[in-house]
DNA sequence: TGCTTATTTCTGTGATTACCGAACTTACTG
DNA sequence: CAGTAAGTTCGGTAATCACAGAAATAAGCA
């Protein structure tokens, strides 16, 4: 696949950002490529387009699948695996947030719970005790809340976000009403 | 400072998670330590408590300050710098989200804007063109929305998040009402 | 203005991660 | 059931990052 300058810029940038988001460059580049392509692409085409090793593409695709960002599809009359990603940016966002929550929040909630449940937790310094409990409560609230949000339809979510500025009024309205 | 087993568990875990959150272990450990300590701590005490090099503590503290998570304070009669962090988990969260937004979202929004503004953007594939625009719109909405949210008082935010399950009803109520 | 203590910067090393190329496995095809 | 194409796994290397220790700088103090 021949990339236009703009597509190239997009893919390279996405790759750079990937490293800041905790995934490797190739993986994000491949994802960006599939996203722009908007059609099933086979591994060899990715190799040629991005100039990376076949093995690298293979592992990155596996990783992308484990993130549920990419799935394998087949094209009639072609026995090679083809890969594609969702074109719905909201859905992608949802997937990423869910996965990051699982990897970056849940282990901490576990640890905090075990801290609080520990036999000698009450013997901790008051401050420490209090802060650990606060942190746990915060993370649980955050988790529950984002679960709620992520369960919404993209459209509802979008509407909600666009309401943005009015959040406070809504809250007040709701409190006044109920 | 002698750490209790629980404090140690907390700090070690925080350090591990830090690496997944894109900051290095020492930096998150120091932050966790200051958080539990709940009082100004000087660098040498951090060195002893965490068993890391003085230089490492120095750079990590600088980094924590650049994230605005830690600030320098002074203790009467002691010429050493002391360091402390906020004990308000909501505030910490706000700071982190703001900073990550700046580092992980803004550069992308810039790039996307430049893509779209580019002279030959219309000559792109329809799909690619559309998806780039969608992505930009999404990120702008997300940015604006989180700015709104972050401007709220912790208490309001908490109330809002605890409302969680009722988000949809609120939305519907609001639409029905206005 | 030297003396001491606190802090930062620099340099090298060890650890981790990303990636290539080769060897291997699996699945189709004639 | 060869032969070939597709896909995966593995071993080594290159690149990056984290950190210790030494050297340099800055800030009080006599």
What does the pLDDT look like over B62-118, one tens digit per residue?
999 999 999 999 999 999 999 999 999 999 999 999 999 999 999 999 999 999 999
CB of B26 lies under 7 Å from some atom of strand D: yes
pLDDT at A169: 58
SS3 A118: coil
Q: Exposed, middle or buried, A109 (CB in 10 Å: 0-12/13-18/19+)?
A: middle
* Candidates B10, B107, B177; nearest CB to A132: B10
* pLDDT at res. A176: 42
Residues of A in contact with B152 (CB under 8 A): 167-168
A61 touches strand D (CB under 7 A): yes
Q: For residue B165, is pLDDT > 80?
A: no
Cα separation, A144 vs A138, whole angstroms: 10
Res B176: pLDDT? 43
Q: Is B119 exposed, middle or buried (0-12, 13-18, 19+ CB in 10 A)?
A: exposed
Q: Is the pLDDT of residue B178 over 70?
A: no
Of the two residues B32 and B163, the one the predictor is more confident about is B32
Rounded to whole angstroms, the Cα distance separating A65 from A83 reads 10
Cα–chain-centroid distance for residue B80?
Answer: 28
Strand D positions closer than 7 A to protein CB: 5-11, 17-23, 27-29
pLDDT beyond 80 at B40: yes
**In the prediction, which pLDDT does A27 show?**
98
CA gyration radius, chain B: 22
Question: In this structure, what DSSP letter does residue A122 have?
Answer: T
Range with the poorest average pLDDT among A23-27, B148-152, B160-164:
B160-164
Q: List strand residue ranges (DSSP E) for chain B, in order.
A: 41-42, 70-75, 78-85
- Would you write out chain A's pLDDT as a tens digit for each of its 178 residues? 999 999 999 999 999 999 988 899 999 999 999 999 999 999 999 999 999 999 999 999 999 999 999 999 999 999 999 999 999 999 999 999 999 999 999 999 999 999 999 999 999 999 999 999 999 999 999 998 888 888 888 777 777 777 655 555 555 555 443 3
Give the list of residues 6+ apart from residue B12 with CB closer than 8 angstroms, or none.
Answer: B29
- In this complex, the nucleotide whose C1' atom is nearest to the CA atom of residue B82 is C6
Alpha helices in chain A (DSSP H): 5-20, 25-37, 43-50, 54-66, 89-104, 106-117, 126-151, 154-163, 167-177
Q: How far apart are CA B12 and CA B6, in angstroms?
A: 10
Which nt sits closest to A77, CA to C1'?
A: C28
Contact A108, B89 (CB under 8 A): no
Is residue B164 pLDDT above 70, yes or no? Answer: no
From start to end of chain A, where are the E strands? 41-42, 70-73, 82-85
Q: Give the separation between CA B114 and CA B136, rounded to whole angstroms.
A: 10
pLDDT at residue B161, as a whole number: 72
**Residue A164 neighbours by CB under 8 Å, 6+ apart:** B144, B145, B148, B149
CB contact under 8 A, A134 and B177: no
Model confidence at B148: pLDDT above 60: yes
Q: Using 50, 70 and 90 to split pLDDT, how confident is the model at B31?
A: very high
Q: Is the pLDDT of residue B6 over 90?
A: yes
Write down the pLDDT at residue A178: 33
| Backbone region of residue B97 per phi and psi (left: phi > 0; alpha: psi in -120 to 50; beta: other values) | alpha
Question: Is A111 in contact with A104 (CB distance < 8 Å)?
Answer: no
- Strand A82-85 relative to strand A41-42, pairing: antiparallel
Check residue A158 and give its pLDDT. Answer: 74
């Amino acid at each position: 696949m021949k990339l236009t300058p703009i597509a190239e810029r997009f893919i390279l940038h996405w790759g750079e950002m990937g490293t800041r988001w905790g995934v490797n460059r190739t993986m994000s580049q491949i994802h960006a490529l599939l996203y722009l392509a908007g059609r099933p692409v086979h591994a060899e085409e990715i190799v040629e387009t991005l100039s990376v090793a076949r093995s690298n593409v293979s592992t990155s695709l596996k990783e992308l699948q484990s993130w549920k960002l990419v799935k394998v599809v087949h094209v009639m009359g072609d026995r090679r695996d083809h890969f594609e990603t969702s074109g719905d940016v909201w859905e992608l966002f949802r997937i990423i947030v869910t996965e990051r929550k699982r990897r970056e929040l849940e282990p901490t909630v576990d640890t905090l719970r075990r801290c609080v449940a520990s036999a000698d937790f009450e013997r901790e310094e008051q401050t420490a005790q209090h802060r650990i409990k606060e942190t746990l409560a915060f993370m649980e609230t955050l988790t529950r809340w984002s679960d709620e949000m992520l369960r919404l339809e993209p459209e509802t979510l979008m509407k909600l976000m666009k309401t943005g500025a009015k959040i406070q009024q809504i809250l007040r309205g709701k409190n006044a009403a109920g």
